[in-house]
Amino acid sequence: MSLNTAFSSELDSRIDQLKADRVYKQLNYLDSPQSARVQMEGRGEILILSSNNYLGLCDEPSVIDAGIRGLRRFGAGTASVRFICGTFTIHRDLEEAIARFVGTESSLTFVAAWNANEALTSTILQEGDFVVSDALNHASIIDSIRLAKAIVKCTSAVYKHGDLDDLVSKLEQATGAKRRLIWTDGVFSMEGAIAKLPDLIDIARRYDAVLAVDDSHSTGVLGETGRGTAEHFGMLGEVDIITSTLGKALGGAAGGSSRDRRVCATCSRNARGRSSSRMPSHRRLLRAPSRRSSSWRNTQGAWRSSGKTRGISGTPSPRPVSNRWPVRRRSYPSSLGKRRSRSR
């Protein structure tokens, strides 16, 4: 039985328009582990320059073996949410390890970083509260704020990217709010910019605000031991709330970490989209910090040099994360289509 005819026809028109605009996304199918080079269906061996596998842990044998041991001991899952059927001891171990890793008091795992961000705002804010967001924050933060406005009726504002004077102006306009939340990316994945964390922390303290940092593109690569934006600035333990992912540099599920255990306790009981997965990659990173150093060297050296030979010049970046490399091409190939919307 077919779908509603008018509905199906409308979807066909939308898809046709995306194809005409050359922005229709098609999946590429891999027949090998994610790595620097992969086997791609219909294309053979391909060099991957767009992956978030910054440290090469996706196919690290010790990580794979640990995952297999976890499956053999605990099975594929709890077959329900954690509060109904229980949660595994390794979930607790993982959350404790994440908190230690990023210098927070407690942490809570979600099925993805998107879910961690999406759930946070409406869980910790209430009617009469205020949230302000950097204009170039990730789409998951934008959706989080939209949901919070619909669910808890908080108010919101957007400040110009990296413009702290504009941020202060927005906060001063919200002096009547009961609670103020500042949202920012740690590293802005499309621009390569690092948030001005010391200034943001100072502003948050001056205006009695809570600072939330999405460190998804910082974890594993920024800071001396890969602990992210806070370590990069020597401010571990000074950020109110950190959300991040184990699915980029570390490879599999997301963790939302907080300096205050009360935030995690609140999210544990009220946030939607929660789940857990055992990912031992953070241990591998701590045992082998040279992976982070190699990532920096590769980005600052060989990748930039090879880019120049292909007519691509990279904008200088203070980070090794180059999956969305800002480029200037001598000629922009029409085969690449139009620029796509912001996304991880």
Looking at residue 133, its amino acid is S
Distance CA 151, CA 98 (A): 29
- Tell me the two tokens of residue 167: 């941020």
Kindly name the residue from 91, 217, 232, 282 that is annotated as catalytic: 217
Kindly name the residue from 91, 138, 232, 248 that is annotated as catalytic: 248
Distance CA 58, CA 4 (A): 42
Kindly name the residue from 189, 218, 244, 295 that is annotated as catalytic: 189
Task: Examine the residue annotation and report whether 282 is marked as an active-site residue of this protein.
Answer: no
Of 300, 344, 339, which Cα lies nearest the Cα of 23?
Answer: 339
At how many degrees (to 10) do helices 139-151 and 113-124 cross?
30
Q: How far is CA 37 from CA 47, 50, 56, 247, 320, in A?
A: 5, 11, 11, 18, 19
Task: Examine the residue annotation and report whether 217 is marked as an active-site residue of this protein.
Answer: yes
Task: Examine the residue annotation and report whether 189 is marked as an active-site residue of this protein.
Answer: yes
Q: What angle do CA 165, 167, 169 make, to 5 degrees?
A: 70
Q: Give the burial class of 191: count Cβ atoms within 10 A of its Cβ; 0-12 exposed, 13-18 middle, 19 or more buried.
A: middle
What residues does 242 pair with on adjacent strands?
213, 257
Of 254, 309, 321, which Cα lies nearest the Cα of 282?
Answer: 254
Of 122, 94, 165, which Cα lies nearest the Cα of 273?
Answer: 122
Q: What amino acid positions are annotated as catalytic residues?
A: 189, 217, 248
